[in-house]
Amino acid sequence: MLIPQTAYICEVGPRDGLQNEKKILDIDTKVKLINDVVAAGIKIVEIGSFVHPKAVPQLADTDEVAKRIRRSPDVEYRALVSNVRGVERAIAAGVTKVKLTVSASESHNKKNWNRSTQQVIHDFDDCIRLAAENRIEVSGAISTAFGCPFEGAIAVQQVVEIIKAFEKIGIREISLSDTTGMAYPRQVYEMAVTVQQLFPQNEWWLHLHNTRGLALANIMAGLQAGIIRFDASFAGLGGCPFAPGASGNVATEDVVHMLELMGVKTGVDLDKIIGVANVVTQQVEHQTESFILKAGKSKTLQ
């Protein structure tokens, strides 16, 4: 089986995971979680979002979290922003990479950001300028890239048009997000092959939710197409407050476990990351969909 020998995991639990929780964790708890995933070997962490606190109250304190985390020089700490105000907050908090999200679906953009797709992309320009002036890196994300709960299937061409718009403003690192878990392996494979052929200079991330149990299969399809960067969330927390039926991200420990079995190096210590996931479930006070937290590692004998 031909798959890459190394893969990179971005821990998105502090952002995509916690934003969907009823219980709002305090700043110290968030800071410790971020420090602990880094101690487990995670090199890229999405620490929160600089969006309107009323839109996502769970992450209203990302500014303070960013200031208090222990910074490792070889770790990338990124945050989600939706406008210039978000970039300003990222600068003030010392965050050096931001992620701008647009939906592949017009209806989802309206629901999520209260703007049309064209407006969202148009507004990126100011964010890019401000970020560049302050030496902040910018990446892009395309949510509902594989399907939208309001519009149904999303054509590859729709996604390609957004990638072109990103390219025009200089964004070459792009996350293809299956926000509501509608993607399936063949679709992921074909999308991954297509975008890599059309935009060979870009860096790609897959952001997969396990809403319908297909996230790990989709990661396999991505790997087979040569994708090596995957978002995942501790304990499988997550969802999208603006998309009906959206449930957990693929669990970080499930991804690391699968990759480790296949000899794909992630640099993440599986036992340590399972430990973090266990702590997270205690903090949010409920069980999650993580397979490894329920069943344990396959190599652990009874």
Contact 256, 268 (CB under 8 A): yes
Least Å from the CB of residue 15 to Mg ion: 9
Closer residue to Mg ion in complex, CB, 16/36: 16
Radius of gyration, CA atoms only, the chain: 18
Q: Which residue is nearest to Mg ion (CB)?
A: 16
First to last CA, the chain: 30
Our CA angle for 283, 38, 82, nearest 5°, is 75
Closer residue to Mg ion in complex, CB, 91/140: 140
Residue 138: which of 72, 93, 86, 92 has the closest Cα?
86
Closer residue to Mg ion in complex, CB, 130/192: 192
Question: One symbol per residue from 16 to 35: x for binding Mg ion (CB under 5 A), - otherwise; what is it?
Answer: x-------------------
Least Å from the CB of residue 232 to Mg ion: 11
Least Å from the CB of residue 238 to Mg ion: 6
Does residue 11 interact with Mg ion by CB under 5 A? Answer: no
Paired tokens of 170? 């200089």
Is 127 an active-site residue?
Answer: no
Paired tokens of 256? 């690391």
Least Å from the CB of residue 143 to Mg ion: 7
Length, in residues, of the chain: 302
Closer residue to Mg ion in complex, CB, 91/146: 146
Q: Which residues does residue 267 pair with via DSSP β-bridges, in sequence order? A: none
Catalytic residues: 240
Residues making contact with Mg ion (CB under 5 A): 16
